[in-house]
Amino acid sequence: MNFETPDFLPVVPELFVLGMACLILVVDLFLSDRSRVVTYLMSQATLVGALVVTLGLSSPIAQVTMNGTFVLDPMATLLKSVVYIASFVAFLYAKDYLRARSLFKGEFFLLGLFAVLGMMVLISAHSMLTVYLGLELMSLSLYAMVALQRNSATASEAAMKYFILGAMASAMLLYGMSMLYGATGTLDLGELGARVQGAGPSSLVLVFGLVFLIVGIAFKLGAVPFHMWVPDVYHGAPTAVTLFVSSAPKLAAFAMLMRLLVDGLPGLHGHWQDMLILLAVLSVALGNVLAIAQANIKRLLAYSGISHVGFLLMGVLAGTPEGYAAGMYYAIAYVIMTLGGFGMVILMSRAGFEADRLEDYKGLNERSPWFALMMLILMFSMAGVPPFLGFWAKLAVLEAVVSIDLIWVAVVAVVFSVIGAFYYLRVVKYMYFDKPEDEHSLVAGSDLRFLLSANGLAVLGLGIFPGSLLALCASAIG
Amino acid sequence: MAFEQIVFYAFSAVLVFSAGVVITVRNPVHAALFLVLCFFSTAGLWLLLRAEFLAIALVLVYVGAVMVLFLFVVMMLDINIAVVRQGFARYLAVGGVVAILLIAVMAMVVGGDYFGLERTPVPEPIGEVSNTRLLGLQLYTDYVYPFEIASVILLVAIIAAIALTLRRRPDSRYQEPGRQVEVRRGDRVRLVSMKSEERR
């Protein structure tokens, strides 16, 4: 049997994160609860190291290795880098929150690192096998993180719902993959694309498999009608976990969408475009309308996340390089905004007080004008008010949809985002025009305050100078 | 050929029958046992396809380990089946329509048209090969990357299981073998000098 040793160089970031995670696992065993901060620092150092390695390995041409199961291309480099940064920010926001609730354990950071590894595998997948394995590695870690707060009934319920629905979505995805494999006889996504092109777009079995693939992807993204888990999980999980679940995994899910549909099934673009239009329009409509009825800010952000996923899908469904770049730009912008949004919830909370009701934000301007301003920036950006980041992201995806003459989709999106502006503005009204109900001063540490300020200012800064990030996404798509 | 077909249909009939029983029978222990039968008939089908390693792994892993564990859990938990079955009639209409639609579409797709012998011909026989040997070669060469990821998933499962279940309770009693071994006679036995009693 002939066997050529694969090129391990492109896989070094994955190997580095795995090696460090195993090292931290062993080191954590010998730490007392007082020196647990070492685990945290090592996890953060791992993310920084992975970022350095990934950027060092970046190259403009795609390299496929590991017998065609792994690809390193500019898209993978960019998405992985954002995943590291988002996880770094999420871990930092989480630290004080976890400590105040005696959840500051090595498992949180370890499972987080393994989830990051899963996302990296998924982002670099070049075979249906690695797509599935990366997805499972990420999801299993996330299920466990949601359940980490064992004495909370809502967290256990959220974890159970997430786990069962997630397992069903994985089963759907696998069934779809088995159909595609049966019809084409290959797992390699590049090969699959070529064979699908040869089979012609009318092959019924391919479309049948595609439907199941899209169900699996839509579940992971949290698009309507596969969104039921999102509000319950975001609400039930500890805010620190919600922050993590809502940020970096969305990038991985976006990568899964790109790998499976754009790399694997470009020949079926006409079919998946119709399905994505349905998902996008439903998500934007339902997410924005249901968010109005929410009294809990974590549920509100969950429904707003669903509507953002709708916008993200609009970029991808266009099927043009500009559309893919716009979708990626939207995904990154959403991650920056959601990190800030849940970061604010963590900033406001303290031991025994979750700050997850909308009323808790009343009169924030009197208590802390600076963070009220940060929240204002985040809310305006999510609503899509110029000149903040969210506006340019929305503009980019709408341009992509209009360029393929789907003007009605763009009109629907604009109408519902105007409706959606109501609930963002209500938070702003609470902060600036109502009397505070809660007179406690904010207890967050200086690192959290600093990073949250930087996060808010990044939304403003990337909004005033929108060109660089968009250009980065465009060059990553190539 | 005819004999192979008879075996195939026999195993398939048992498989479909037992799969149906798993989800309709009232007693969860019976359901678990029928699932075992399901796995056995699937293993038989795989043997027929000359995938002997998969067949044996299915019996060893699923029947031998997973289902035994499952049975233990079912017997220990004493699940109230009446509560689980509540709302069955309410969801029957919607569930039934979805199931029928799904089966109809599957019947259109999964069949001779797309997966028949014309599209995927029988591979040429290449003489005596060992399934286990080839699988091992493939797993550790071409598929080493997915294989390692699968092992990381198992590691995560271990970490998650320990993180979610291990808790030190102050009132729990446990043995410490290390301390038991270290014990010396002096720690447990106290020699008391007593005057022997007078015989009456």
Mind giving me the DSSP string for B159-172?
Answer: HHHHHHH----TT-
Report CA-CA distances (Å) from A442 to A93, A95, A102, A455, B147.
Answer: 14, 16, 19, 18, 48
CA distance B60 to A120: 33
Instruction: Please state the ipTM of this predicted complex.
Output: 0.94
Q: What is the tens place of the pLDDT at every residue in B179-198?
A: 888 888 888 888 888 888 88
Report CA-CA distances (Å) from A415 to A288, A301, A412, A462.
Answer: 10, 19, 5, 25
Alpha carbon A334 to its chain's center:
8
- pLDDT of amino acid A120: 97
pLDDT score of A322 more than 60: yes
Q: Find, in chain A, the residue whose alpha carbon is nearest to that of B163.
A: A107
Residue in B109, B118, B169 to test binding to A, most A beta-carbons within 10 Å: B109
Using pLDDT thresholds of 50, 70 and 90, give the confidence band for residue B25. confident
> How many angstroms separate the CA of residue A3 from the nearest CA in chain B?
7
Specify whether the CB–CB gap between A213 and A173 falls below 8 A. yes
Q: Strand, coil or helix: what is A1?
A: coil
CA distance A380 to A386: 8
**Residue carrying structure tokens 């048209």:** B113
Cβ contact, residue pair A111, B159, below 8 Å: yes
Phi, psi of B78 (to 5 degrees): 55, 65
Q: Find, in chain A, the residue whose alpha carbon is nearest to that of B113.
A: A205
Phi, psi of A30 (to 5 degrees): -100, 5
Specify whether the CB–CB gap between A259 and A135 falls below 8 A. no
Q: Find, in chain A, the residue whose alpha carbon is nearest to that of B107.
A: A205
Using pLDDT thresholds of 50, 70 and 90, give the confidence band for residue A126. very high
Q: Strand, coil or helix: what is B51?
A: coil
In B, which residues are within 8 Å of A117 by CB distance?
A: 152
> How many angstroms separate the CA of residue A338 from the nearest CA in chain B?
26
In A, which residues are within 8 Å of B159 by CB distance?
A: 25, 107, 110-111, 114, 144
Report CA-CA distances (Å) from B169 to A115, B166, B176.
Answer: 30, 9, 15
Q: What is the tens place of the pLDDT at every residue in A361-397?
A: 888 888 889 999 999 999 999 999 988 999 999 999 9
Q: Which two tokens stand for residue A317?
A: 């469904």
Phi, psi of B173 (to 5 degrees): -110, 135
Using pLDDT thresholds of 50, 70 and 90, give the confidence band for residue B153. very high
Phi, psi of B142 (to 5 degrees): -65, -35
Residues 6+ apart with CB under 8 A from B4: B48
> How many angstroms separate the CA of residue A15 from the nearest CA in chain B?
11
CA distance A235 to A241: 10
Closest in A70, A133, A144 to B164, CB measured = A144
**Where are the alpha helices (H) located in A384-406, listed in sequence order?**
389-403
Using pLDDT thresholds of 50, 70 and 90, give the confidence band for residue A85. very high
Cβ contact, residue pair B160, A182, below 8 Å: no
Mean pLDDT of chain A, nearest integer: 92
In B, which residues are within 8 Å of A146 by CB distance?
A: none
pLDDT score of B120 more than 90: no
CA distance A245 to A22: 22
pLDDT score of A415 more than 70: yes
Phi, psi of A59 (to 5 degrees): -145, 150
Q: Find, in chain B, the residue whose alpha carbon is nearest to that of A3.
A: B141
Alpha carbon A189 to its chain's center:
23
Cβ contact, residue pair B159, A107, below 8 Å: yes
Radius of gyration for chain B, computed over Cα atoms and rounded to the nearest angstrom: 28
Burial of A318 (0-12, 13-18, 19+ CB in 10 A): buried
Q: Which two tokens stand for residue A30?
A: 């010998």
Chain A interface, Cβ < 8 Å to B:
1, 3, 6, 11, 18, 22, 25, 66-67, 69-70, 105, 107, 110-111, 114, 117, 121, 127, 129-130, 133-134, 136-137, 140-141, 143-144, 147-148, 150, 179, 182-183, 185, 203-205, 208
Asked, as a colleague might, if the bond just before A74 is cis with ω within 30 of 0, I would say no
- pLDDT of amino acid A201: 56
Using pLDDT thresholds of 50, 70 and 90, give the confidence band for residue B28. confident
Using pLDDT thresholds of 50, 70 and 90, give the confidence band for residue B27. confident
DSSP letters spanning A122-187: HHTB-BHHHHHHHHHHHHHHHHHHHTT-TT-HHHHHHHHHHHHHHHHHHHHHHHHHHHHHHHH---
Report CA-CA distances (Å) from B1 to A446, B5, B7, B13, B55.
Answer: 77, 6, 10, 18, 21
pLDDT score of A117 more than 90: yes
A63 forms beta bridges with A72
- pLDDT of amino acid A150: 86
Using pLDDT thresholds of 50, 70 and 90, give the confidence band for residue B121. confident
CB atoms within 10 A of CB A435: 7
Cβ contact, residue pair A150, B164, below 8 Å: yes
Chain B interface, Cβ < 8 Å to A:
105-106, 108-110, 114-115, 120, 137, 141-146, 149-150, 152-153, 155-157, 159-160, 163-164, 167
Q: What is the tens place of the pLDDT at every residue in A97-115?
A: 999 888 898 999 999 999 9
Specify whether the CB–CB gap between A235 and A296 falls below 8 A. yes
Cβ contact, residue pair A137, B167, below 8 Å: no
Q: What is the tens place of the pLDDT at every residue in A62-73?
A: 999 988 999 999
Cα A218–A219–A223 angle (5° rounding)?
Answer: 55
Alpha carbon A243 to its chain's center:
10
From the list A210, A273, A214, the residue with the least C-alpha distance to B105 is A210
Q: What is the mean pLDDT of residues A435-462?
A: 89
Weakest mean pLDDT among A85-94, A314-323, A337-346, B24-33: B24-33
Half-sphere exposure of A370 (CA within 13 A, CB side): 9
> How many angstroms separate the CA of residue B160 from the nearest CA in chain A?
6
Q: What is the mean pLDDT of residues A118-145?
A: 96
In B, which residues are within 8 Å of A185 by CB distance?
A: 120
CA distance A351 to B161: 27
> How many angstroms separate the CA of residue A216 from the nearest CA in chain B?
16
Using pLDDT thresholds of 50, 70 and 90, give the confidence band for residue A292. very high
The single-letter code of the amino acid at A213 is L
Q: Find, in chain B, the residue whose alpha carbon is nearest to that of A114.
A: B156
In B, which residues are within 8 Å of A22 by CB distance?
A: 155
Cβ contact, residue pair B145, A69, below 8 Å: yes
Specify whether the CB–CB gap between A214 and A206 falls below 8 A. no
pLDDT score of A40 more than 80: yes
Specify whether the CB–CB gap between A428 and A381 falls below 8 A. no
CB atoms within 10 A of CB A317: 27
The single-letter code of the amino acid at A9 is L
Q: Strand, coil or helix: what is A296?
A: strand
Residue in A139, A160, A208, A241 to test binding to B, most B beta-carbons within 10 Å: A208
Cβ contact, residue pair A114, B156, below 8 Å: yes
Q: Identify the DSSP state of B121.
A: P
> How many angstroms separate the CA of residue A163 from the nearest CA in chain B?
13
From the list A135, A113, A111, A141, the residue with the least C-alpha distance to A123 is A135
Cα diameter, chain A? 76
The single-letter code of the amino acid at A413 is A
**Where are the alpha helices (H) located in chain B, listed in sequence order?**
2-24, 28-48, 52-57, 67-77, 81-85, 88-109, 112-115, 131-140, 144-165, 177-182, 185-188
Q: Find, in chain A, the residue whose alpha carbon is nearest to that of B162.
A: A107
What are the b/e assignments for A251-280, b being 16+ CB within 10 Å? bbbbbbbbbbbbbbbebbbebbbebbbbbb
CA distance A240 to A108: 10
- pLDDT of amino acid A1: 61
Cβ contact, residue pair B109, A129, below 8 Å: no
**N-term to C-term CA, chain A:** 38
- pLDDT of amino acid A200: 64
pLDDT score of A260 more than 60: yes
Specify whether the CB–CB gap between A456 and A361 falls below 8 A. no
> How many angstroms separate the CA of residue B197 from the nearest CA in chain A?
57
> For chain B, what percent of residues have pLDDT higher than 90?
38
In A, which residues are within 8 Å of B114 by CB distance?
A: 182-183, 203-205
Name the strand (E) or helix (H) holding A259: none
- pLDDT of amino acid B114: 78
> How many angstroms separate the CA of residue A130 from the nearest CA in chain B?
6
Q: Which two tokens stand for residue A306?
A: 């669903």
CB pairs < 8 Å spanning A and B = 85
